[in-house]
Amino acid sequence: MIKQYLLSPGPTPIPNEVELAMSETMIHHRTPQFNKVFEEARGGLKKLFGTKNDVIMFASSGTGAMEAAVANLFSPGDKVLVINGGKFGERWLNIANAYGLNPIDLKVEWGRAVKVAEVEKQLEAHPDIQGVLIQASETSTTVLHPVKEIASLTKGGPLFLVDGVTAVGVVPVPVDEWGIDVLVTGSQKALMLPPGLGFIALSDRAWDRTKKAKLPRFYFDLNLERKNQQKGSGAFTPAVSLIFGLRASLNMLEREGIEKVYARHARLCRATRAAATALGLKLLAPDSPSPAATGIFLPEGIDADKVLEYLRDRMNVTLAEGQDQLKGKVIRIAHVGYMGAFDVITAIAALEMALRKFGAEIPFGRGVAAAQEVLMEALP
């Protein structure tokens, strides 16, 4: 038996408590027994999303919830502004194109956050923009975008759609307080569940818009789901076992305290960044890092994909790769979800060893020591 370490930004490790909850005997989804579990999970989600409105669940991955947002809120030809700073910005763009919208592609340099002034400029130049689509945390570049500031620009104007797949449960993204119109996430990140659930919350004005929007929808019909989910199940067969697990994971977050959950993610992120810097490695997101994952450039001449393969297949440590133009150059160490201090230590120690194997002059322990200095903050 060789122990595996899953340190990727989704799927993420699953706590034993959640695994046990998911192994409950299957029950029928149109019963008072299921309704109770579902209602408790709905209550926990509302708190997590910071909204008085419903959080709708789909048996889909996070992309399904993104698609639901577009299909329910727009009409063919609607102009939308897409903040495109990575693979998931591209995903908004692809969904908008697939549904026949008219997206403006606001490209942002990979590794950087969008400038609020750039968004403001686009909104002034195109007063007919119906929606602004963004990632709170762009997982592919490990960047956090300024969602709160952009929300203040869209008040009373275009709808503001936020992909929070690696932000919800990682950093505060309070829907009602900030005036966000749509917030989306998936189960396999900070919610510490397997893949398979998509979540979406809407503001009052977004719910109003669903009545006027003309794009076709069937499985992802938010009004149909809201009507059914308010009655304690879904329009179709819900992912029963995942919802058992969801209730357990929401309880765990509540017990830890959501502010402490955010502080833990921030600390693990700072420790990872400190370690990379101590090892003389460059950070992918120098200015606006996402506390979900840290992107690190490996030294020139070392193929990052080969290092990742070695880490995974010889050392049993799974980290994530760089995508597109970052392929072979970057690795991403995740610290999202069921992660603690010793996951960071494992990741950094393993990276030091793998880099040495690939010929880098890495002094063993230097990155680990830098991470330990930060992690000690939680042990006063």
We find the least distance from the C-beta atom of residue 11 to ligand PLP, in angstroms, to be 9
Evaluate whether 24 touches 149 at the Cβ level (below 8 Å).
Answer: no
Cβ proximity to ligand PLP: between 88 and 99 the closer is: 88
Nearer to ligand PLP, 165 or 269 (CB): 165
Task: Report the residue number, 83 or 202, with the smaller CB distance to ligand PLP.
Answer: 83
| Cβ distance to ligand PLP smaller for residue 34 or 178 | 178
Residue 11: asked if its preceding bond is cis (omega within 30°), the reply is yes
- Please give the single-letter amino acid code of residue 40: E
Minimal distance, residue 89 CB to ligand PLP, in Å: 9
Task: Give least dist CB 136 to ligand PLP, A.
Answer: 8
Comparison of 131 and 186: residue with beta carbon closer to ligand PLP? 186
Q: What would the two tokens of residue 199 be?
A: 């979540």
- Cβ atoms of 170 and 190 within 8 Å: the answer is yes
SS3 198: strand
Residue ranges that bind ligand PLP, judged by CB under 6 A: 10, 61-63, 88, 91, 135, 137, 139, 163, 165-166, 186, 195
DSSP-derived letter for residue 99 is T
φ/ψ of 279, rounded to 5, equals: -85, 5
Asked if 73 and 131 touch (Cβ cutoff 8 Å), the reply is yes
Minimum distance from CB of 108 to ligand PLP (Å)? 14
| Residue 131, token pair as written in the block | 């929606």
Residue entry with tokens 């309704």: 35
363, 351 contact by CB (below 8 A)? no
Rounded Cα distance between 180 and 202, Å, is 8
Query: Which of 52, 22, 69, 357 is CA-nearest to residue 195?
Result: 22
Q: How far is the CB of 310 from ligand PLP (least distance, A)?
A: 23
| Residue whose CB is less far from ligand PLP, 182 or 278 | 182
CB of 148 to ligand PLP, least distance (A): 17
